[in-house]
Structure 1
Amino acid sequence: MRIALLQTDPTVGDLPGNAALIAEGVRAAAAQGADLCLTPELALLGYPPRDLLLVPSFVQAAEARLTELARELAALPPVLVGTAWPTPGAPGRPLYNGAALLRAGRVQTRFPKTLLPTYDVFDEDRYFEPGPGPGCFELDGRRVAVTICEDLWNDSQFWEQRRYPGDPMGAVATLGADVVVNLSASPFTLGKQQVRQKMLGHLAAKYRVPVLYANQVGGADDLVFAGRSMAFGPDGALLARARAFEPDLLVVDLGAGGAPPAPGRVEADDFAPESEAWRALVLGTRDYARKCGFTRVLLGLSGGIDSALTAAVAAAALGPDNVLGVLMPSPWSSPGSVDDSLALGRSLGIETMTLPIAPLMAAFDAALAPAFAGAAPDVTEENIQARIRGNLLMALSNKRRALLLTTGNKSELAVGYCTIYGDMSGGLAVISDVPKTLVFRLCRWLNASQGREVIPAPIITKPPSAELRPGQKDEDSLPPYDVLDPILEGLVERRQSPDEVAARGFDPAQVRRVAALVAGAEFKRRQAAPGLKITDRAFGTGWRMPLASRLRT
């Protein structure tokens, strides 16, 4: 038996386009002798469809497209398609999430998902009713058990603490399955792939059955999917692994007549955090722009390391010819910052433009002079500079019909070291889930991996500064980033209290101040552009903190 894993990059809501990707994959798999094809989770609708699932006409259109797809593929191998369909009118949620088996020109049977995640970015209990458990079907004398994504993530021997009382894989053992397949849309986060491989290998060995996993690839709003579809033999060994961060077709030979599965293609990969983060950011930026209808992007170049990394990601994602870097020097901008920005533009091969903001600053000062009479200059004037720049960038975005990328990192967003309607203006916050220390590591890694200074050395070595007043440095307002980032990791990703973070050796007063900054900046994050999630806890759809709250955690 040969099973093909169709690692597709669907677009949410694009039923014709997603069906075409599936059909194309099935035809290619048939040419390679596949007996069964497997798509990712909800591949027909695109994952995650979110509240599109609450629109009855969308669900009806998906059902109609599924029926058309079954007819179109009638003469080809059967295919398990990830989709959603209405429940039969019983009490509960209105839909099932699962797999539909298309065979011989019709939808032969359906397999609903059992475990519905509601943590982090997931909210499946909002839409779906859980299925009763895994099901099987016969193919060429073998029993194929069908599971959907989370159904594999609850083994009591692998996880110290399980999220659900039941384990669908335990039920698979009673079904006499000869192979387990899993339709998945498991988002990327740094380091998750190694855990995923260990878990799937553990399950295959525990139940002495091959486990095949088809994962989505591509960007979907704030989420990035790395693909890396895989197959494991009954001994738990990795048989095959598809490419990372790009669509692929992986055909796995499970053998015939009692023969063991044949080792397949295992794509080389790099699990270093810098390599993974870079590829995720490039793919997420490319797909966000493409799926939102943009072919060009622009961003402000300050001469700092954050805008440099964002520009490098943009150039890799959309091509240098489609990126505009805008310099907006003020009287406080150092000559080095201007020179470094121009050098970066030449290194990346992108277009640059210079729009000095001193005349606009003077105009604002004059207009506000009567209202500000008797008040000393403070952060207000600094914010005006940021908002002038934001206005210029948005004007260029409108005029050029280009997506504006914001350049703030996770450390800044966490503590509110950013300006609403200023440097936060834009349509995509590319590095908003990249801590400042990782920004530095990524730039050094990029230069080393390319064998040249993609990011000019002065940008990496200069002290970070917003340059909104003479001699300003980030450390005037914040702890050093090599101190701030571990504190933020404890508060944000580990969900620790300030006392728990301080117990790890940090100054308690400093930790409490950072915790207060994180809580006080919630209103800014609520108005930020969507950002690409690459860590276990990002300030995106999985972050649901209240705005009006007195608790400081």
Structure 2
Amino acid sequence: MKQLRIALAQINSTVGDFKGNVRLITENILKARAAGADLVAFPELAIPGYPPEDLLLKSSFIDANLRALEEIVTASKGISVVIGFVDRKEELYNATAIIHEGKLASIYHKIYLPNYGVFDEKRYFHPGSSCPIYEISGVNVGISVCEDIWYDTGPATVQASGGAEVILNISASPYHHGKHHFRERMLGARATDNVAIVAFCNLVGGQDELVFDGGSVIFDEQGNLIARARQFEEELLIADLDVESVFHSRLQDPRWRKEGQQLECDCPTDRIMVSAPRQDSPRAMLPKQITPLLESDSEVYKALVLGTRDYILKNGFGGVIIGLSGGVDSSLVAAVAVDALGPKSVHGLIMPSRFSAPLSADYAAKLATNLGIKTFTVPIEKAYTAYLDSLSEVFRDTKPDVTEENIQARIRGTLLMALSNKFGWMVLNTGNKSEVATGYTTLYGDMAGGYAVIKDVPKTLVYRLCRYRNNQAGFDLIPDAVINRVPSAELRPGQKDTDTLPEYEVLDPILLAYVEEDKGVEQIIAQGYEPELVVKVARLVDVSEYKRRQAPPGIKITPKAFGRDRREPITSKFREGG
């Protein structure tokens, strides 16, 4: 039986950590070889890390990447290795090295360079122009990189038409909520359309605002899922591919040849010999490993945990500090931080004011006890009084307004940053997407922080995630009273969020339509929302762009996050709805 034992190493590379990345890659090569794999694949740009952004403009970075590749080539004995790196010829290429027995057998250059959403690959790379077919252990393998597989008549089809029995795609596919369903449907379609086995090796880990969810998969030539790795965790997924069945399926279904079809890319399919067929006796097939997909709220929560852990640890911070208000936002951020870093690395700061409800500090203290984190209490009354006294002459004959409210938020931001400076703890911002979108935040106040954990999480999802975490704990880890209390910034007597914003159950769908789906005001009104409300929300979003540009980076979990995804000008006279 014609068979290929393949290992997909979904690893957590760190951008620019060549020593650490080489060590991680080498360890997985050894594990794959010990498991009898013929071929081990690593994610897109696994050697330099993804995305390296403008580090690609530094010659020294490219040189370090090429030296690291040489180390990996030397370590690749007794197995074929497919791994992403940056190739430098007359241009830079997002490239894949095909290695066997300590030799660099070939290099594939990524053909389709994404330049939308979070991607800027055309800024750095030149596209490839060839779709080789590699003979690895007697199996014809078509190799491609990430975006290449998303085109239904792209490199995969060219390679399959040229005789490739296995399509191997190495990828760095950023996470957003629900993306894996769409991605797997696409990969299954590539397998059935081309009557080829499709193996997809994805990156895992956090890189600034991006999270990569792993979930590497293999589909057989009939579109059946035959292997899936865990999401949000490193794993070496090993599977035996029944390549003989591809031959028989193609005999029975000649439509796969698609004679005369218009292909997306017109590139040569040279045959390149990498390694000869195995000479040992046939091996027993490994049992299938198909890890179940996570439920909706679980996947978002794990993305937040992974993104937070990698941002803090990869940047060398010894711990974090969070302002605990007794509300759901800070409670969720604290729970995520503890799950990411452990309770000893998480600290809470409780900062009551004259407007804080007596129960707020109690709720914050109860949460801290449940999480096992240390807290400090620093009332802001003295500082607030001092500010008001200092400004009394200038503010004479004016009425208190949002200015006095924002002073309190800025005092709290200053106290958090003081503890950050003193103890080396990064401040975790606690603002959610609904607040960030509408500008319901204080610049240099509650917007202060080094990392915004729930920046891309709408308020209604915040509540769901709190309940999810409590269900996982088996008790009210986040006090039920916190989840059920009326949202308030507590910056003036009797204040509620709804004094300024509509109910979040109404607001969030409008924001979804306006921000993520790019629908205009008239389109949203046509969905049944009050015209005045839609115009108000759109205006709040538009005029708050200058605030968002000064916000800390945060984890992307929706299809369109503020920052890398959504790039609106600060200075603009265009307003939806007049």
TM-score, length-scaled by structure 1: 0.95
Residue of structure 1 equivalent to 2:266: none
**Which of 339, 363, 375 is matched with 2:386 structurally?**
363
Residue of structure 2 equivalent to 1:124: 121
**Which of 235, 258, 264 is matched with 2:288 structurally?**
264
Residue of structure 2 equivalent to 1:159: none
CA deviations over 1:72-113 (Å, ceiling 9, x no partner): 22x2311011011113x2xxxx31102111222222210010
- Identical-pair percentage: 49
The answer to whether the 8 Å contact 2:307/2:555 transfers is yes
**Which of 367, 370, 381 is matched with 2:404 structurally?**
381
**Letter matched to residue 127 of structure 2:** P
Q: Give the distance between the partners of 2:149 and 2:287, measured in 1 at CA.
A: 23
Residue of structure 1 equivalent to 2:16: 13
CA deviations over 1:22-79 (Å, ceiling 9, x no partner): 1110100111100011000000010111111111111011111111221122x23110
**Letter matched to residue 292 of structure 2:** A
Q: Give the distance between the partners of 1:282 and 1:196, measured in 2 at CA.
A: 22
* 1:324 is aligned to 2:361: no
CA-CA distance at 1:257 after TM superposition = 5.9
The answer to whether the 8 Å contact 1:533/1:540 transfers is no
Residue of structure 2 equivalent to 1:72: 75
**Letter matched to residue 503 of structure 1:** A
Q: Helix, strand or coil for the counterpart of 2:99?
A: strand
Q: Give the distance between the partners of 1:317 and 1:424, measured in 2 at CA.
A: 22
Segments of 4+ in structure 1 off by > 4 A?
A: 256-263
The answer to whether the 8 Å contact 2:42/2:84 transfers is yes
Q: Give the distance between the partners of 2:121 and 2:47, measured in 1 at CA.
A: 17
The answer to whether the 8 Å contact 2:160/2:196 transfers is no
CA-CA distance at 1:359 after TM superposition = 0.3
**Letter matched to residue 20 of structure 1:** R
* 1:528 is aligned to 2:551: yes
Q: Give the distance between the partners of 1:370 and 1:361, measured in 2 at CA.
A: 16
The answer to whether the 8 Å contact 1:26/1:76 transfers is no
Q: Give the distance between the partners of 1:367 and 1:61, measured in 2 at CA.
A: 55
Q: Give the distance between the partners of 1:526 and 1:168, measured in 2 at CA.
A: 38
Residue of structure 2 equivalent to 1:466: 489
CA-CA distance at 1:448 after TM superposition = 1.9
Q: Which residues in structure 2 correspond to 1:512-527 (within 5 Å)? A: 512-527=535-550
Q: Which residues in structure 2 correspond to 1:160-171 (within 5 Å)? A: 167-171=154-158
Residue of structure 2 equivalent to 1:221: 208
Residue of structure 2 equivalent to 1:287: 310
Q: Helix, strand or coil for the counterpart of 1:196?
A: helix
CA deviations over 1:168-202 (Å, ceiling 9, x no partner): 22212332101110000001111111111111111
Q: Give the distance between the partners of 1:542 and 1:133, measured in 2 at CA.
A: 31
Q: Helix, strand or coil for the counterpart of 2:242?
A: coil
Residue of structure 1 equivalent to 2:253: none
Cα gap change, 1:96/1:362 in structure 2, threshold over 3 Å: closer, same or farther?
same
* 1:193 is aligned to 2:180: yes
* 1:246 is aligned to 2:243: no
* 1:144 is aligned to 2:131: no
CA deviations over 1:270-308 (Å, ceiling 9, x no partner): 2x2211110000010000001110131111001111000
Residue of structure 1 equivalent to 2:263: none
* 1:390 is aligned to 2:387: no
**Letter matched to residue 117 of structure 1:** P
CA-CA distance at 1:133 after TM superposition = 3.9
Q: Give the distance between the partners of 1:232 and 1:263, measured in 2 at CA.
A: 15
**Letter matched to residue 86 of structure 1:** R
Q: Helix, strand or coil for the counterpart of 1:183?
A: strand
Q: Which residues in structure 2 correspond to 1:50-89 (within 5 Å)? A: 50-73=53-76, 75-87=77-89, 89=90
Q: Give the distance between the partners of 2:184 and 2:160, measured in 1 at CA.
A: 20
**Letter matched to residue 28 of structure 2:** G
Q: Give the distance between the partners of 2:308 and 2:60, measured in 1 at CA.
A: 30
CA-CA distance at 1:387 after TM superposition = 0.5
Residue of structure 2 equivalent to 1:108: 105
Residue of structure 2 equivalent to 1:158: none
* 1:312 is aligned to 2:335: yes
Residue of structure 1 equivalent to 2:280: none
Q: Give the distance between the partners of 1:149 and 1:141, measured in 2 at CA.
A: 25
Residue of structure 1 equivalent to 2:254: none
CA deviations over 1:382-428 (Å, ceiling 9, x no partner): 11100000000000011110111000000000000001111111110
**Which of 484, 489, 499 is matched with 2:507 structurally?**
484
Q: Give the distance between the partners of 1:256 and 1:470, measured in 2 at CA.
A: 71
CA-CA distance at 1:262 after TM superposition = 6.4
The answer to whether the 8 Å contact 2:441/2:447 transfers is yes
Q: Give the distance between the partners of 1:256 and 1:466, measured in 2 at CA.
A: 61
Q: Helix, strand or coil for the counterpart of 1:254?
A: strand
**Letter matched to residue 462 of structure 2:** V
**Letter matched to residue 416 of structure 1:** G
Structure 1: runs of 5 or more not aligned: 156-165
Cα gap change, 1:257/1:196 in structure 2, threshold over 3 Å: closer, same or farther?
closer
Residue of structure 1 equivalent to 2:425: 402
Q: Give the distance between the partners of 2:130 and 2:331, measured in 1 at CA.
A: 50
* 1:434 is aligned to 2:460: no
The answer to whether the 8 Å contact 1:219/1:287 transfers is yes
Q: Give the distance between the partners of 1:441 and 1:493, measured in 2 at CA.
A: 20
CA deviations over 1:355-395 (Å, ceiling 9, x no partner): 00000000001111111111111111111100000000000
**Letter matched to residue 84 of structure 1:** V
The answer to whether the 8 Å contact 2:80/2:136 transfers is no
**Letter matched to residue 173 of structure 2:** S
**Which of 238, 253, 275 is matched with 2:298 structurally?**
275
Residue of structure 2 equivalent to 1:349: 372
* 1:340 is aligned to 2:363: yes
CA-CA distance at 1:19 after TM superposition = 1.2
**Letter matched to residue 231 of structure 1:** I
Q: Give the distance between the partners of 1:497 and 1:389, measured in 2 at CA.
A: 37
* 1:29 is aligned to 2:52: no
CA-CA distance at 1:263 after TM superposition = 5.7
TM-score, length-scaled by structure 2: 0.91
Structure 2: runs of 5 or more not aligned: 249-284
CA-CA distance at 1:464 after TM superposition = 0.3
The answer to whether the 8 Å contact 1:42/1:81 transfers is yes
